[in-house]
Structure 1
Amino acid sequence: MAYIRKRSNGKWSYTVSLGIDPLTKKQKQKTKSGFFTKKEAISAARKAEAEIESGTFVKETKMTFETFAQDWIKVYAQSAKISSVRARSKEMKHFISVWGPYPLKKINKQLYQKRIVDLSEKYSRNYVSGIHACGRMIFNHAIGLGLLKLNPTENIQLPKHQIKVEEIENQKEEIKFLEKEELARFLRFTASDGLEMDSLIFTTLAYTGLRIGELLALKWSDFDGGKGSLRITKTLYNPSNNIKEYELLSPKTTGSIRTIRIDDRLVKMLKHHEVKQKEIKLEKGSIHVDNQFIFARNDGHPQLRKVVETRLKRILKKAEINKNITPHSFRHTHTSLLIEAGVGVKEIQQRLGHTDINTTMNIYAHMTANMEEKASHQFSELMKDLL
Structure 2
Amino acid sequence: MDDIKGTYELVSPGSYRLRYPIGTTINGNPKRLSKNIKAKNDKQAMKELILWNLEIEENGYNELDSILFKNFYEEYWVKSAQDNLEIKTFEAYNSVIQDRFLNVLGNKKVKEIKPYEIKEIVVNAKRLKAVERYGIEISRQTKKRILSAVSNLFIVARDEYEIVKENPCNRVIIPKEKNAKKLTYEPYTSDEIALLFEKLTDAPIRTKAIVMTAFFTSARQGEIAALEERHFDFENNEILFDQRIIQKRDYSLKRLDGLKASDSKKMVVPDDYMDIMKSFISININARKKLNIDGIKHTYIFGSPEGVPVSPTSLNRNWARFAKANNLRKIRFHDFRHTSATYLIAQNTPVKTVQERLGHKDYSTTMNIYAHALKEVDKKASDSLSKFI
Distance 2:345 2:297 in 1: 39
Q: Deviations over 1:163-194 (max 9, x none)?
A: 5xxx4124348662112232232233334244
Change (3 A) 1:226 1:136: closer
Q: Give the counterpart of 1:77 among 53, 75, 80.
A: 80
Change (3 A) 1:304 1:187: farther
The within-5 A match list for 1:21-170 is 69-73=73-77, 77=80, 82-83=84-85, 86=90, 89-94=94-99, 98=103, 117=120, 120-122=123-125, 124=143, 127-128=146-147, 130-131=149-150, 134=153, 167-170=177-180
Distance 2:172 2:235 in 1: 55
Match of 2:373 in 1: 367
Match of 2:360 in 1: 354
Distance 1:321 1:190 in 2: 11
- Counterpart of 2:324 in structure 1: which amino acid? K
Distance 2:372 2:339 in 1: 12
Contact 2:119 2:173 in 1 (8 A): no
Match of 1:229 in 2: 238
Match status 1:185 vs 2:195: yes
Q: 1:354: Cα distance to partner?
A: 2.4
Q: 1:130: Cα distance to partner?
A: 4.1
The within-5 A match list for 1:178-327 is 178-194=188-204, 197-239=206-248, 242=251, 245-254=253-262, 257-285=264-292, 291-322=298-329, 324-327=330-333
Distance 1:215 1:371 in 2: 29
Cα RMSD of the aligned pairs, angstroms, is 4.9
**Secondary structure, in 3 states, of the residue corresponding to 2:348?**
coil
For normalisation by structure 1, the TM-score amounts to 0.59
Q: Deviations over 1:214-249 (max 9, x none)?
A: 11111122111111101111222125695x532224
- Counterpart of 1:251 in structure 2: which amino acid? L
Give the unaligned 5+ runs of structure 2: 1-67, 126-141, 158-162, 382-389
- Counterpart of 1:292 in structure 2: which amino acid? T
**Secondary structure, in 3 states, of the residue corresponding to 1:295?**
coil
Change (3 A) 1:67 1:197: same
For normalisation by structure 2, the TM-score amounts to 0.58
Q: 1:307: Cα distance to partner?
A: 1.9
- Counterpart of 1:277 in structure 2: which amino acid? N
Q: Deviations over 1:296-324 (max 9, x none)?
A: 234431222222111212222222223x3
Please identify, of 113-122 and 181-190, the stretch whose mean Cα deviation from structure 2 is larger: 113-122
Q: How high is the sequence identity, in percent, across the aligned residues? A: 20
Distance 1:370 1:247 in 2: 39
Distance 2:358 2:346 in 1: 16
Q: Deviations over 1:311-343 (max 9, x none)?
A: 212222222223x31122212222233234332
Q: 1:199: Cα distance to partner?
A: 0.4
Distance 2:193 2:223 in 1: 21
- Counterpart of 1:343 in structure 2: which amino acid? T
**Secondary structure, in 3 states, of the residue corresponding to 2:213?**
helix
Change (3 A) 1:241 1:230: farther
Q: Deviations over 1:73-119 (max 9, x none)?
A: 47x639x95229937644542369759xx9x69xxx9xxx9998566
Distance 1:134 1:221 in 2: 34
- Counterpart of 2:245 in structure 1: which amino acid? L
Distance 2:72 2:360 in 1: 36
Change (3 A) 1:121 1:363: closer
Contact 1:88 1:134 in 2 (8 A): no
**Secondary structure, in 3 states, of the residue corresponding to 1:124?**
helix
